[in-house]
Structure 1
Amino acid sequence: MLHFILGRAGSGKTTHVHTLLEDFVRAGRQDLILLVPEQYSFHSERAMLERLGEKDAGSVDVLSFSRLAHSVFRIFGGKSGRPIDDAGRAILMSLALDGVGDSLEVYARHRQSPAVISEMLGLGIELKQGAVAPAEMMAVSDGMQDCLLKKKTREIALVLSAYEALVANSFFDGQDELTNLYDTLLGHAFFAGKVVAIDAFRGFTGQELKIIERILAQAESVYITLCADSLYSQAGDTGVFAHTKRTANQIMELAKKQGVPVAKPLLLPEEGTPGKIAPGDARYKRDALTALEAGLYNPEAVAYEEATDAVTLTAAGDIISECEFVALTVKRLLREEGLRCRDIAVIARTAETYEAPLKSALKKCEVPVFIDKRQPVVTQPLIVLVRSAAEIAANGFSLDAVMRCLKTGLAGFAVEDVSMLENYALLWNINGNRWLRDWDAHPGGYGSELMEADKAVLKSLNILREQVTAPLSKLRGSFENAHGQSAAMAIFEYLKDIDAGQNLKNLAIALEDEGEPVLALEQERLWDDLMEVLDSVAAALKDKKLTAKRFRELFDLVIATRSLGSIPQGLDEITIGSAGRIRTASPKVVFVVGANEGVFPRTPVSSGILNDLERQALIDLGLKVADPAEFKIIEERFIAYTALCSA
């Protein structure tokens, strides 16, 4: 039996599910599963532990889709292999585009541009999540009338088929995890006799819906919560819950396909239901917040006339003023209201826009903050060193590339020595093989007599020159007849030759001494990250012939995919996140920033390999690609609704 538990934000859906599972446990049931989003799993585990105690908490398995896959594979086995990361994906997509290049027309000219590689990878992920195989795309293209779309669809299918073949040859792709889980569940009744509750999802991918179909086919009972005020929508519905209702209809179709009856949906809050939340447990302690939730995107909203401080609207002249208002208000709440930092969240449509001004404003007010985002690594000293060395291996000794190597501080030369080398090289425009020959021109320039002191300077310069060029010349030689594995090893040997690992540790110590512990820790993490990249290069390219120039292109491509995650510095910090990604555990105060027209909610912009008309055409042909802009507008409204109802 399929049971829908519906309700608007804050109506008690999660509380109802937890109460339901608790009742099952008290009745002696132990075959219970609570399926939640990954970022919500810790909160759910803690909630069940508090309800059931240590003795009975094990009766409910709290799982995400990924953890569910691992649980099933532990029992029934699953595909194994070396997991591929973003570095390996970028390399193999580049190779796939190269491999089918002669068959491309639409994407032939730009097939090796980082943008096309990135967009092709993104589309591949999108199609996998929609459970669309390249062969299915190829088959659909046969019946197309639009000549350009037909070419694009066939070429996309061709590229993705080649890419998946390369991946399958050496790796296991975690993006196939749910597809493999579905295949396993076709032959094994993992959910037989179980009660499964699915909570806190805003929607489901095509892959996840296929897993839900297997759950419906096998489980005794399935309970699914959805943020909506009913199951059904009118034709052309563009209300805030239209996206959720569409999800409900998809699930009901799956239940019908499997012959599973659907119970009358439970709409919360409802008098007399087990999940009816007591007034003291309701999310909204203030009438104004209840009115806000009820009125959002409601054409029949009733104005709330009472005076209240539960909802504050503030206009700021610019983003700096906006962030200063947030910081000063936070400081007052901490000092006067007795709140903790962890009770407060700041939600932006895109957190990156607010990172710098918010951090600055909060720092002035001495408020600790954690911003959940990732930093690109391309400008980090270690990465600059390797990119510059690879450039020298590919193109020879240019003054600019040599200086970039030395100025990272990781090549083992003192600042004074680097400055002396740079001054001489600039004076005499030293490039190419002149770095490999003794320097004998006067350090002072033309027209000066060469004195003994000048000869001593030249001697010192030539010693430094040889120390700089020797490991780089060795690296250049290593790329003659190189392949993937030997190229990665050559870079590693170069780093060993200049003692880059120890030099990086020294840099981290210096940063720590200068009061930059986060930057210091980043340097240590970067070494591990670089080793993973080189490992991925070796695994993806193996014995494939590789010039220094091609290695540099692939290394730059891979580095563009790498980033470092933020490191929380304490347990009591304000959380800042993007509205589409953040999951809050009922904070007491929420600041929604950047609520400007076209920004939040965001006005969808058609971009990428497929435009909106092409997406709609593929959807009409039965392919589950991401929705075009008109549906994204509805989703954007729901994201805004969720953010405004999260306190």
Structure 2
Amino acid sequence: MSLKFWIGGSGAGKSHDLYQYVIEQSQKNPATNYIVIVPEQFTLQTQRDLVLAHPRKGIMNIDVLSFARLAYRIFDETGDENSQRMVIDDMGKSLVLRRIATQKSDELSVLGKNLKKLGYINEVKSVISEFMQYSIKEHELEKLMEYAKNRPMLQYKLKDISILYRAFLEEMQGTYTTKEELLEILCRVIDQSRMVRNCVFVFDGFTGFTPVQNQLLQKLMVLAKEIHVTVLLRTAEQIDQEQEEQKKIQEQMLFYMSEKTISTLAKMVNDLNVPLQAPFRYLSTPVYRLKDNPALAFLEEHIFRNTAETFLEEQDAVHILCAKNPEEEMKQICIEISKALRNNPDLHYGDIAVITGDTQLYAHTAEQEFTLYDIPYFMDQTRGILLNPLVEYLRALIEIIVMDYNYEGIFRYLKSSLSDFGQEDIDQLENYVLAFGIHGRKQWSHPWLRKSRHMQAEELVRMNELREQVTMQFECYEHGMREAECAKDYVQVIYEMITSQNMEQKAHAMAEGFEAAGKMETAKEYHQIYRMIMDLLDQICELLPDEQMSVKEFGELLDAGFDEIRVGVTPPSIDEVMIGDITRTRLKDIKLLFFAGVNEGIVPKGNSVSGIISDLDRELLSEQEIELAPSRRQQAYKQRVYLYMIMTKPNQQLYLSYSLASEEGQALQPSYLIREIQKLYPNIEIKRPSFDAGSALSERLMTPKSALGELAACLREQLNPEYEALFSWYLSDENYKKQVLLYVEAAFLPQKTDPISKAVAQVLYGKVLTNSVTRLEKYAACAYSHFLQYGLLLKERELYSFEASDLGTVFHETLKLYSGLLEKSPYTWFDIPEDAENELLRQSVEASMKTADILYSTARYQYLIHRITRIMERTVHMLTKQVRKGLFKPNNFEFSFATQTDFHSLNIRLSEEEEMHLAGRIDRVDTYEDKDKVYVKIIDYKSGNKSFDMAAIYYGLELQLVVYMNAAIEMQQKEHPDKEIIPAGVLYYHIDDPIIDTPKQLSDEEIEEQIQKELVMRGLVNSDQDILAMIDQEFQDSSTVIPVSKTSKGEFSKSSSIATTEQFYLLSNFVNQKIAEMGSQILSGRIEQNPCVTQKQDACTYCDFHSICQFDEREQSAEKRQLDKLSAENALAGMNMSLHKKSDGEEV
């Protein structure tokens, strides 16, 4: 019975010398057992170290165990009934806690509302596990609640936790135990063990011990022959019991935990009268590992010591790298690894490690870059399984039943790669479901009859075939789940479904596919996943067999179990670069270490303790001398020890790297650790790698695969000689020639600005081009966008939703119906009474709603019906007022001119073989007729606040109103061949119910007047005084109908939007010319990327084709057309000039 400390800094040789001591003693005393206790994740490595160090390459009387494995070893010997209870893991605890939370939800004042959230049960489990690990009993919890009475929220949380904790312990009583309770049970039965009395115990690799571990050590001090403990402490000065009172000050010291361990264990042996042997102290400087590396030895001796000493000598052991983002950071690490291996033949992949404070953040980037640079690696992390296809498949099936065949559940199931549906079928089915809002078992069970605009009859047949296949897969399974009453029944249905669908074979087939692709870690995950799911189902049957629950509750139970499962794999090879984190990864004999992600928020690592008990709560509770897991402040101190340990692992070179920005582009700051290193090494330079075409390629040329990516990124730029040589090499290598030529083709041949041939244009559009005005305006804004939409017929996926364009459709349909009903009624716009107006409008709104059944699908949409009705009431009321103020009579509503093949303005000859037909629909045509003339006014309803822009007409961006006027004039001319047709105006009416914002109180009449001013039509009106009077008989100084006003001198104001009859004809002729030009350009094959920019709009802003176009303004050939701002006068002058040039035979 004795205790001995082996005390030294990182790399001093504590573990090595202690293992040598154990090996020597085990050979001298073959009858004595030597048990080496290390953290769980270190057991395999320690076994390997001992076997390799042993002269016989075998260890007969030496065992390497963790605390848990020691407990099982002694339980096997003693056979105590308490030790024979089934041990449930974290997954089992979550299952039990999920059930308890459901049963106790009414008693939980704070936690109850969150317990069904995915991951929250895990938080509760963490708190309860922490209490058990730190031996906090119910009475101590009551003491904490009493102490927290001045902190109501903390007290309520502790009360809720107490309820769950008590119920959990009752559930465990006599039947189950947890891994946290193992050591408590071990302490109760270890006195019965004979094996322990003949053992020498070695504890290595611990930075400190928990209270229950200390209790076990106290027992072993009396029972075991010897106890040896390694302690990480740079100086061998112990602290006595009087100094223990100053521990809060000493928490800031780097080796505080080690000093506390020595003090605690020394006090134990003193209380037990157990001999404390003289410690083995490692006082030499530098430590053994770094004796040949002065720079790293200086780091080991001074980091985190508040020293003013600096290392001024030239050194090549400590480096700092700075990169733009994590991807470039990992790329530079791969380059440095490749260079180091190339320059040092004695260096192997297994001699190198990459450590980061956040493995999840860097895992994907590391996998990508290490694969690209052909560097074998092992990712030392456990993985969750929630996104595994088999788990996703099961979760989706539950969701389908719970959420009544919802879209998300069905397509999660279909896309899980286990559903036996082809990808094309899944895509087509998804498009249909989204377009028509298919939701619910009822809709999935009945034939689908609706077709989208371009859908063929056979495609609808195929959709129904797929629908039947999907529902058939669900029916048997769904029936079983709905009939199930308890957890065991649900598990039985799940098991039958898994076996009938051959899930085990499918999982193994996928694993073999990953093996063939060289993805060994993923393959191992897929080999384990089926067994893990079966274990979960077994635990549910074992722990909760007769628990009554709904399908939804069973799904939540499964989620809690899946959330706990972690997949861990062992390295498939010794000679691989280890990629791990600061605390988990065990490194041995490392020569080069790369410490990635040394940024604030990553180093030091964020708070890892439970979020239910906050950091402030922990600080408060610690005042009661009840030990809990470290608070954020304590964690920060503790993490410095891990940083010290990790940075002193390599014996040749240490690289620290950080990023300037995240993958999302958010700015990042370097960690305080970078500043600490710069203080110690003031001459150190931060290396900032460059990956552009102008930088030295030879510094980064490591593998053909990695260099190919760099070359592809620079092909459009001026290549320097190095890149030209690399390009020539790829062309000469048959393995890469085809790939590099594809990159060249993508970069240069063809450019999107190149025209398509006239023959191809005719295939796409035909010789007779049928165009809408909107389509021509699209072409004027960007020829390439027009080509994608109307040439290739690309379109966004249709969604079952109600967008702004749908609202406009409902508005137009309602006004069309109202106008039609009014024409059939005994009334006109001029004499219809208000009650009749309201009745016709009600009928119109109801009828238009039938074309928009989506408006009845949700409460939000149903509210929109009321809003539509209110806006329509305002619109009809205002339109009626405006009509009654003038002499014009509304004549044509929703007039379609698609079939008017004899209208010259709509059927334009482009060449001897080519022509263009214009199609469209005029919302309203108003006319006034006298003896010799017919006056025509066009009104276009807009749900948005559209303004009239003469410059936009000049550039071809807004042609609609003028084209409509041309068509209406031609129509009237055919109806009245003996009369002159005069354009009176082209106007937009904004469909709206405006809210008047005013600082003063207004009467109803004043409010109505303000609304009329808001709803004045915008557009262009004939300046003839007689015509203005025909439109608004009340017009004098200003109008509440049209955008015209006069100054005090009786002249038209600058804000008036007016034109003479001759100018209207000028507009008409120019637009006819413009659309003919654009029609010819379309059929000639012009499709260049030429988006235009005006003061009001940028053609790229709302374009649907960004991802296809990839318009890059950095390229010289890809410049947007900056259209000059033109006044109405200048625009008209430009039109006039253009017409004259055309008539003179010049090309425009």
Residue 141 (1) aligns with residue 145 (2): yes
Alignment of 1:375-414 (within 5 A): 375-414=383-422
Task: Give secondary structure in 1 for the equivalent of 2:201.
Answer: strand
Residue 224 (1) aligns with residue 238 (2): no
Task: Give secondary structure in 2 for the equivalent of 1:16.
Answer: helix
Count of aligned pairs between the two proteins: 634
Deviation at 1:376, TM superposition (A): 2.9
- Alpha-carbon separation, structure 2, partners of 1:190 and 1:21: 17
Note if contact 2:197-2:225 (Cα within 8 Å) is conserved in structure 1: yes
Match of 1:241 among 232, 242, 255: 255
- Alpha-carbon separation, structure 1, partners of 2:140 and 2:262: 25
Deviates more, 1:29-38 or 1:320-329: 29-38
- Alpha-carbon separation, structure 2, partners of 1:306 and 1:458: 78
Alignment of 1:70-469 (within 5 A): 70-78=72-80, 79-142=83-146, 145-148=149-152, 149-168=154-173, 171-188=176-193, 190-228=195-233, 229=235, 230-232=237-239, 235=246, 236-237=249-250, 238-269=252-283, 282-300=289-307, 302-338=309-345, 339-419=347-427, 421-422=429-430, 424-426=432-434, 428-435=436-443, 437-439=445-447, 441=449, 444=451, 454=457, 462=464, 464-469=466-471
Residue 646 (1) aligns with residue 660 (2): no
Deviates more, 1:42-51 or 1:547-556: 42-51
Match of 2:727 in 1: none
Note if contact 1:601-1:639 (Cα within 8 Å) is conserved in structure 2: no
Deviation at 1:570, TM superposition (A): 2.9
Cα deviation code 1:130-186 (max 9, x no counterpart): 122344323553465435244333331221121233344754423322222112114
Deviation at 1:617, TM superposition (A): 3.3
- Alpha-carbon separation, structure 2, partners of 1:618 and 1:127: 13
Cα deviation code 1:51-91 (max 9, x no counterpart): 44338732333332222222212211252344423332222
Which amino acid in 2 is paired with 1:368?
P
Match of 1:587 in 2: 590
- Alpha-carbon separation, structure 1, partners of 2:606 and 2:556: 35
Deviates more, 1:251-260 or 1:602-611: 602-611
Note if contact 2:77-2:193 (Cα within 8 Å) is conserved in structure 1: no
- Alpha-carbon separation, structure 2, partners of 1:423 and 1:289: 61
Deviates more, 1:597-606 or 1:73-82: 597-606
Deviates more, 1:47-56 or 1:148-157: 47-56
Deviates more, 1:4-13 or 1:404-413: 404-413
Structure 2 vs 1, CA of residues 513 and 251 (structure 1 numbering), >3 Å: closer, same or farther? closer
Match of 1:554 among 537, 553, 557: 557
Note if contact 2:201-2:224 (Cα within 8 Å) is conserved in structure 1: yes
TM-score by length of 1: 0.89
Note if contact 2:393-2:416 (Cα within 8 Å) is conserved in structure 1: yes
- Alpha-carbon separation, structure 1, partners of 2:609 and 2:500: 49
- Alpha-carbon separation, structure 2, partners of 1:519 and 1:189: 45
Match of 1:62 in 2: 64
Match of 2:758 in 1: none
Cα deviation code 1:329-374 (max 9, x no counterpart): 1111212212111111112122222222233332222111111113
Structure 2 vs 1, CA of residues 526 and 343 (structure 1 numbering), >3 Å: closer, same or farther? same
- Alpha-carbon separation, structure 1, partners of 2:183 and 2:60: 25
Which amino acid in 1 is paired with 2:220?
I
- Alpha-carbon separation, structure 2, partners of 1:139 and 1:188: 35
Which amino acid in 1 is paired with 2:645?
T
- Alpha-carbon separation, structure 1, partners of 2:161 and 2:554: 25
Superposed CA RMSD: 3.1
Cα deviation code 1:217-247 (max 9, x no counterpart): 2123322110112322863122211121112
Match of 1:602 in 2: 605
- Alpha-carbon separation, structure 2, partners of 1:595 and 1:417: 47
- Alpha-carbon separation, structure 2, partners of 1:208 and 1:357: 39
- Alpha-carbon separation, structure 2, partners of 1:21 and 1:39: 21
- Alpha-carbon separation, structure 1, partners of 2:570 and 2:15: 30
- Structure 1's unaligned 5+ residue stretches are 272-276
Deviation at 1:510, TM superposition (A): 5.8
Structure 2 vs 1, CA of residues 529 and 605 (structure 1 numbering), >3 Å: closer, same or farther? closer
Structure 2 vs 1, CA of residues 25 and 116 (structure 1 numbering), >3 Å: closer, same or farther? closer
Structure 2 vs 1, CA of residues 586 and 601 (structure 1 numbering), >3 Å: closer, same or farther? farther
Match of 1:575 in 2: 578
Match of 1:637 among 632, 640, 658: 640
Deviates more, 1:495-504 or 1:156-165: 495-504
> Identity rate of aligned residues, in percent?
24
Cα deviation code 1:272-311 (max 9, x no counterpart): xxxxx9x9x6454312222111111123353233322222
Note if contact 1:137-1:623 (Cα within 8 Å) is conserved in structure 2: no
Asked which structure has the greater CA Rg, the reply is 2
Match of 2:488 in 1: 485
Which amino acid in 1 is paired with 2:84?
S
Deviation at 1:587, TM superposition (A): 0.8
Task: Give secondary structure in 2 for the equivalent of 1:197.
Answer: strand
Deviation at 1:437, TM superposition (A): 3.9
Structure 2 vs 1, CA of residues 514 and 441 (structure 1 numbering), >3 Å: closer, same or farther? farther
Which amino acid in 2 is paired with 1:128?
M
- Alpha-carbon separation, structure 2, partners of 1:300 and 1:417: 68
- Alpha-carbon separation, structure 2, partners of 1:222 and 1:432: 67
Deviates more, 1:606-615 or 1:87-96: 606-615
- Alpha-carbon separation, structure 1, partners of 2:544 and 2:299: 56
Deviates more, 1:142-151 or 1:398-407: 142-151
Note if contact 1:84-1:173 (Cα within 8 Å) is conserved in structure 2: yes
- Alpha-carbon separation, structure 2, partners of 1:14 and 1:180: 29
Match of 1:42 in 2: 44
Structure 2 vs 1, CA of residues 301 and 65 (structure 1 numbering), >3 Å: closer, same or farther? farther
Note if contact 1:202-1:226 (Cα within 8 Å) is conserved in structure 2: yes
Note if contact 1:616-1:627 (Cα within 8 Å) is conserved in structure 2: no
Note if contact 1:484-1:540 (Cα within 8 Å) is conserved in structure 2: no
Note if contact 2:119-2:560 (Cα within 8 Å) is conserved in structure 1: no
Which amino acid in 2 is paired with 1:613?
L
- Alpha-carbon separation, structure 1, partners of 2:136 and 2:446: 62
Deviates more, 1:304-313 or 1:507-516: 507-516
- Alpha-carbon separation, structure 2, partners of 1:52 and 1:18: 9
Residue 11 (1) aligns with residue 12 (2): yes
Structure 2 vs 1, CA of residues 51 and 372 (structure 1 numbering), >3 Å: closer, same or farther? closer
Structure 2 vs 1, CA of residues 33 and 441 (structure 1 numbering), >3 Å: closer, same or farther? closer
Deviation at 1:626, TM superposition (A): 1.2
Deviation at 1:551, TM superposition (A): 1.4
- Alpha-carbon separation, structure 1, partners of 2:562 and 2:11: 42
TM-score by length of 2: 0.52
Task: Give secondary structure in 2 for the equivalent of 1:477.
Answer: helix
Task: Give secondary structure in 2 for the equivalent of 1:54.
Answer: coil
Deviation at 1:405, TM superposition (A): 2.0
Note if contact 2:383-2:568 (Cα within 8 Å) is conserved in structure 1: yes
Match of 2:631 in 1: 628
Deviates more, 1:533-542 or 1:501-510: 501-510
Deviation at 1:445, TM superposition (A): 5.3
Note if contact 2:290-2:297 (Cα within 8 Å) is conserved in structure 1: no
Note if contact 2:191-2:223 (Cα within 8 Å) is conserved in structure 1: no
